[in-house]
A and B are shown apart, each in its own frame.
Chain A
Amino acid sequence: MTLTATLLPGLSKRRYGSMFSTVGWAAVVVALTVVLLSVLAPFIAPYDPNYVDLENVLSGPSLAHWLGTDAMGRDLLSRLMFGGRTSLVGPLIVVVASTIFGLLLGLAAGWSDGWISALLSRIFDLVFAFPALLLSMLAIALFGKGLVAPIIAMTISYIPYVARLTQQLVISERSRPYVQAYRVLGFRTSWVVLGRVLPNLVPTVGAQSTLNFGYVLADLAALSFIGLGIQPPTSDWGAMIEEARGALLSGSLMPALLPALVVVLIVVSINVIGEELSDRIGGNLS
């Protein structure tokens, strides 16, 4: 039972043969729109995101500035679009890297018996014990602000999520008759694991990674918000919220609300997609 199924029972039923429910398709549309707007920002953004126009500070939505301007007169729509580029690239790198390493470590932990499996499992436990944000701040303290240190730290923190899942899947998969048939047929273990078992896990692990994307995005935005992530003037959703705190106090909602809204929208969309994917795969596998 997913969250959306509880909140919107009618719209979250998947029709036979359809990939997603109505809610799921809406999430896909939202996510794709955000991604496209960010990717195409240099071509379609109405303004330079860093162009300061002090005669036009904190203006509300108008024909010239569809979503208004911030405290330095920068166009909010353009900043949001460009902000997506940094805000989405970070999670993407983290998710891809943690998925690759998580899969490999999970396979090793699931397939081996004895001390390798035990050692890897304890390491996963250890990393699980550190919140991703805390680890990132530690990395920033050591290596300095910016995107590189938190991305590495986040990758390390998210590896166990993928690895633990992979490990469990591998353990159940290796006792299945089809895997045993490969063994009896004399195929090499490495061929069976990498060539046959691994591809069967990809959909399930992919669904988990999709969910992770949302969490990482929120975490990185939080880092930028507290000033440890992306540094001004580069636009980033988390950093935009932080910069808009002053404006918030003087009564202008938009500069802080808009990036927050985008973060919420994208995280919710990604979570819905991830949940529906894993539901679908869970249903197909069992």
Chain B
Amino acid sequence: MSKLLEIEQFSMAFPGRGNLLSDVSLHVDDGEAVALVGESGSGKSLTTRAALGLFPETSRLSGSVKVSGLDTTTASGTKLLELRRNRASMIFQDPRAGINPVRTVGDFVTETLVRWRGLSRQEAEAQAVAQLEQVGLRRAKEMMRQYPHQLSGGMLQRVMIAAALLDSPELLLCDEPTTALDVTTQAGIVTLLREQQQARGMGMLFITHDLNLAGSLCDRVYVLRKGEVVEHGGSRQVFTSPQADYTRQLIAATPSIDIDKVPAVPVQDDQSPLLRVEGLCRRYTLPGGEILNALNNASFTLAKGGSLGVVGESGSGKSTLARMIVALETPDAGELEVSGRPRAHRALKAGERKLLAKDVQIVFQDPYLSLDPRIPVGKAVADVFRLHQGQTRSAALQSARELLDRVGIGPERFESKPRALSGGQRQRVAIAKALAARPKLLVLDEATSALDVSVQAQVLELVEELRDQLGLTILFVTHDLAVVSRLCSELLVLRDGVIVEQGSTAQILGAPASEYTRTLINSRPQLLWQDQPV
């Protein structure tokens, strides 16, 4: 087999910023699926783009990047165009960002066929429809006349894959193509990519931050960290006997479902649950008058000191539930009681909000958006102490210092603005801010989804620690079953606004009663060798 993609001693530097990639060497053979695994800032996207000759302006390059013998670091523009048109294709993380929203799917898929291959419109359309069907899209003919906004994210990613495959590339570059998708959708896309790659004998370079996903799809793995390849080898070998410390950390940090490690359900004190939800509903009227039941007739209780995981895919109503609990949304019907105080079906008044704040707090998903960009983190936390604990300015600053220290933000960061902090640090600050109100219930709305796996592991550890030490009650909203399995003793599975299953985490994960929960569990990436005898 010849080497389809061969990157040798490739370095990329920026004036004033040093090397972003140092001596990266990797290769992809014909018909081989190779994963490039790394966290944010590891340089995995830069490496992949280099294969198409896409280099950031003002970057300085050394080494070589060869695709079928053509060195993209020195190749002429026309050669690169020829390469991109005929031999290599790329699919991206966000399919919506890569498609013109005002043209139809058909326009998008047939464009290269008509312009570069000189096919007639009819021929191009016939080929496109066949290709769309091949990637598992039903009603492909109708879809040709639809617009991108009429398709779901998963369908659109299939369209992108179909368009990439129409060029019959020898090399398919995939840049986190499933990261923005739900886990059940991801499973379908991964299966599709694997099938197509094998059927066509394509080489594939698959970029991901998810080691498990890499192991479920690829024969070989490269682990990239801060622009350097720290480990490479067969997927199984890298998984079972990792050589580099970093790979070991990454594997340890990657959450997995382990029923033995699920926290036990605490002894219930059913007389006074901290959170009681009964027949809760939230409806939205969509433009055009259609009514969407974001949450329909939800009922459950959460005891003091308990931990409940709310799991669901996008559109399941899990965030709506979280937002109603903290009064960012008003319920349409049903009862919602926190600490025995029933919630009114109207926007809360200032006094009511302040009272509620002492009962329940929330940590949002994106730590880059949930902190005020202008306020130093110490002051942000101190403000909460002043409001809720009635402390003087200096006492509040002292309390803030202690609390931030407790969540792992040292005094040297006290005066920092959020933009000077990393994602993990910001999320720690967000947690400290919430805790400063001394709430009984902490709602975490996908609070670790935006973080790198190793950072996610640290933040989860912190939440666990705080839960045990402060006796916090936790409601964790997430799409990731593995994360809840570690943190929550009880589980609630939502789908399309309806609770499909609830009970103890160990029981649900061990023996799911509903079909949907089973699908959710089975959609998690399965390592290629998992079902094979050792």
Residues of A within 8 A of B (CB): 16, 176-178, 180-189, 196, 199-200
Contacts and interface: CB of A to CB of B under 8 A. Distances in A.
Interface string B331-362: 00000000000000000001001111110111
Given A181-B371, A182-B372, A186-B437, 4 more contacts: A181-B430, A181-B433, A185-B384, A186-B387
Contacts of B513: none
B395 interface: no
B: contact size bracket = 20 to 34
B364 A185 contact: no
Nearest to A16: B16
B402 interface: no
A185 B387 contact: yes
A188 B388 CA distance: 12
Interface in B311-335: 326-328
Given A183-B328, A184-B327, A184-B328, A177 B354 contact: no
Contacts of B369: 176-178
A186 B388 CA distance: 9
Contacts of B371: 178, 181
B433 A200 contact: no
B353 A183 contact: yes
Contacts of A182: 372
Given A177-B364, A189-B350, A196-B375, A184 B357 contact: yes
A135 to B, nearest CB: 36
Contacts of B364: 177, 180-181
B150 to A, nearest CB: 25
Contacts of A183: 327-328, 353
Nearest to B366: A177
A259 to B, nearest CB: 42
A283 to B, nearest CB: 13
Given A178-B369, A180-B328, A185 B361 contact: yes
Most buried by A among B16, B350, B358: B350
B115 interface: no
A187 to B, nearest CB: 6
B373 interface: yes
Nearest to B384: A185
A186 B433 contact: no
Contact of A199 (B365, B374, B387): B374
A177 B371 CA distance: 8
15 contacts: A16-B16, A177-B369, A178-B369, A178-B371, A181-B371, A181-B433, A183-B327, A183-B353, A185-B361, A185-B387, A185-B433, A186-B358, A188-B350, A200-B372, A200-B373
Given A184-B357, A184-B361, A185-B357, A178 B372 contact: yes
Contacts of B326: 184
B370 interface: yes
B449 to A, nearest CB: 13
Most buried by A among B16, B356, B370: B370
Contacts of B354: 186
Nearest to B358: A186
Given A184-B361, A196-B375, A177 B370 contact: yes
A184 B388 contact: no
Contacts of B355: 186
A178 to B, nearest CB: 5
Nearest to B364: A177
Nearest to B328: A180
A286 to B, nearest CB: 12
B391 to A, nearest CB: 15
A186 B360 CA distance: 10
B346 to A, nearest CB: 13
Contacts of B328: 180, 183-184
Given A186-B354, A189-B350, A181 B370 contact: yes
Nearest to A179: B372
A181 B387 contact: no
B387 A187 contact: yes
Contacts of B374: 196, 199-200
Nearest to A191: B387
Nearest to A176: B369
Contacts of A184: 326-328, 353, 357, 360-362
A225 to B, nearest CB: 43
B320 to A, nearest CB: 14
B353 A186 contact: yes
Given A177-B364, A180-B364, A196-B375, A185 B370 contact: no
A186 B372 contact: no
Contact of A181 (B327, B353, B362, B388): B362
Contacts of A200: 372-374
Contacts of A188: 350
B375 A186 contact: no
A185 B16 CA distance: 41
Given A177-B364, A200-B372, A185 B437 contact: yes
